Amino acid sequence: MGMTIAEKIIAAAAGVSEVKPGDIHTVELDRLMSNDGTTHLTIDMYNKLKNPHIADVDKLVWIVDHNVPCDSVKTAASHKKMRDFAKKNGIKFYEGEGVCHQVMMEKHVTSGELIFGADSHTCAYGAVGAFGTGVGCTDYLYAMVTGHSWLLVPETLRFNLTGKLQEGVYARDLILTIIGKIGANGANYMAMEFGGEGLHTLNMSDRISICNLCVEAGAKTALMEVDDIALDYLKEHGREPKHVFKSDDDANYAKVYDIDLSTIKPIVAKPHFVDSVVDAKECVGTHIDEAFLGSCNNGRIEDLRAGAQIIKGKKVNPMVRFLVVPASADVYRQALDEGIIDTFMEAGAIVMNPNCSVCWGSCQGVIGENEVLISTGTRNFKGRAGHKDSFVYLASAATVTASAIKGEIATADMV
Amino acid sequence: MGKIFKFNQDVDTDQIIASQYLLFPTIDEMKAHTFESLDPDFASNVKPGDYVVASENFGCGSSREQAPAVLKALGVKAVVAKSFARIFYRNAINIGLPVIVCKDLHENVNAGEEMELSLQEGIVRVSDKTFTCTKLPEYMQGILDQGGLIASLNKEEA
């Protein structure tokens, strides 16, 4: 029986020739990423182990991105614990460099790897054909100490992409459309695999955006076929692929979806569920208090360019706070070079340092009671961006920027 | 016997424990905020041995292990849901908080009723009614039996 990409990566990591969905295997992990959301708890547990040690410190990457720079005395204590432990043990450590997944994509991940990340959006790594999956800190700790873990082989959903996105439609609209179609648990426990000729029309930023959001359909991981675009990306970033796996022709899929990219339209996900998606036009006119352009999902240079192109020469609505947050320091510098930061600042946007920002509702830009945010972030759960009685709409960088100008939800063609 | 605290579908990890509490130094400092946006009195009303009963996709969203950890710290005996989001499910087993799928329970019980769960049998009893659950795979039950993944690690490394 043929295997999917997810099955091939697990088989290689388990050292067996074949695996099938439902099997549980012990797998060697290539990389272990953890951020400041949970690392302080991991360290507390580590210190209580009978025999604390690290199997291979070179596999560990720790990134402070959720609350950076630090927002409170309590956070400072948690950060200090993480920073001190990393230094003492020689763990690769980043602080202020960017959102963890963007930093991982820029500096570490390669094709064919199996990666645990203590963050649900670790599935982003599928953009270069790596099996990334989100875990909690106990799982992380176990893998950090032993170098391996247990993994249940997921079934795979296959998405065959054809055609090309229309002008003004973005990868984010595509993945929100898919999540709306299959539902918030439509891929629960499963891998989502993307391929087909339409994939070649999507750049790396698009691919990261798509894979990153697959967890919002419950997916264990997301995987894209590795083509020249992915290989060029790795090469530009100084990395070689570990393995390049392709699904076999007779691989077994739980379900196959055919998606014509040219049929996708600008989409908005309404509060409080990522799968509550509607045509963006249906939300036009909805009052907003804040707009956010950033996050591991949509804070790359391509997203900033899309926003800058729309806002150049225009002004942010005086009743709106427009937060622009590059996903990494590299993205920030690139945006500076291209004059994009100037464009946003001239328009009246608030440009922040690279971090998770209001996407996770505990750092900067938190919204108050009954306030409304339109966001390129990952989630619109109740209270996700601040007060429990507040509202988050998710949309593309273009729709978010157009809305920031209008002071209400608007699409790019309206400004 | 324990009291039922009932929740609906797609309860995400931000509802279980919101982001602004995650970097508190310890789980004990976070637990008072459990389910704050859905049931602000939950943390003060729940007693050790009580149960959380939910509909589909319980624990969707982030990988924050604080979500099952605050429930365990408050003494919740188990979460019984129609289905679980996978990271929450795995985290719960890893920390030794029993989670079990029961398709029929949510529609047929009320908040505040007393229930009893036998994990071994995979049976829930509520007054004179009995509900059958989907038993955990042997491997995962094994982790729970040992008290979670770290307890089993300490045993392996001893």
pLDDT in tens, A10-28: 999 999 999 999 999 999 9
* pLDDT digit string, tens, across residues A402-415: 999 999 999 999 99
Beta carbons of A59 and A29 less than 8 angstroms apart: yes
Name every residue whose Cβ is closer than 8 Å to that of residue A80 and which is 6 or more positions away in sequence. Answer: none
A143 vs A134: CA distance, rounded Å: 13
Residue A362 has pLDDT above 90, yes or no: no
Judged by CB atoms closer than 8 Å, whether chains meet at B23 and A40 is answered as: yes
Beta carbons of A278 and A267 less than 8 angstroms apart: yes
Q: What are the extents of the domains in chain A? A: 5-262, 269-414
Q: What is residue B157's predicted lDDT score, i.e. its pLDDT?
A: 72
Judged by CB atoms closer than 8 Å, whether chains meet at A188 and B12 is answered as: no
A129-158 average pLDDT score:
97
Q: Residue B36 belongs to a domain with what CATH number?
A: 3.20.19.10
- How are beta strands B78-81 and B51-54 bridged, if at all? parallel
Percent of chain B as helix, strand, coil, to the nearest 5: 35, 20, 40
Distances (CA, A) of A180 to A30, A214, A267, A269, A275: 33, 11, 10, 8, 4
Minimal Cβ distance to B157: which of A40, A50, A366? A50
Judged by CB atoms closer than 8 Å, whether chains meet at A382 and B64 is answered as: no
Q: Is the peptide bond before A237 cis (omega within 30 degrees of 0)?
A: no
Instruction: Give the residue numbers in B contacting A (CB under 8 Å), as ranges.
Output: 10, 12, 14-15, 18-20, 22-27, 36-37, 56-57, 60-66, 68-69, 83, 85-87, 90-91, 94-95, 137, 139, 148-150, 153-154, 156-158
Neighbours of A285 (CB within 10 A): 11
Residue A193 has pLDDT above 90, yes or no: yes
Residue A189 has pLDDT above 90, yes or no: yes
A98-115 average pLDDT score:
98
CATH superfamily for A5-262 is Aconitase, domain 3 (3.30.499.10)
Burial (CB count within 10 angstroms: exposed 0-12, middle 13-18, buried 19+), residue A402: buried
Tell me which amino acid residue A291 is: A
A269-414 is a CATH 3.50.50.60 domain? no
Average pLDDT, chain A: 97
Residue A171 has pLDDT above 90, yes or no: yes
Tokens for B153, please give them: 């690690």
Query: Considering only CB atoms, which chain B residues are within 8 Å of A66?
Result: 22-23
pLDDT band at A29 (very low <50, low <70, confident <90, very high): very high
Residue A205 has pLDDT above 70, yes or no: yes
Query: Considering only CB atoms, which chain A residues are within 8 Å of B72?
Result: none
* pLDDT digit string, tens, across residues A42-67: 999 999 999 999 999 999 999 999 99
pLDDT band at B158 (very low <50, low <70, confident <90, very high): low
Beta carbons of B43 and B89 less than 8 angstroms apart: no
Q: How far is A243 from chain B (nearest CA, A)?
A: 26
Count: domains in chain B? 1
* pLDDT digit string, tens, across residues B32-64: 999 999 999 999 999 999 999 999 999 999 999
Name every residue whose Cβ is closer than 8 Å to that of residue A21 and which is 6 or more positions away in sequence. Answer: A7, A153, A154, A155, A156, A252, A254
Residue A118 has pLDDT above 80, yes or no: yes
Residue B85 has pLDDT above 70, yes or no: yes
Judged by CB atoms closer than 8 Å, whether chains meet at A381 and B150 is answered as: no
ipTM over 0.90: yes
Residue A299 has pLDDT above 90, yes or no: yes
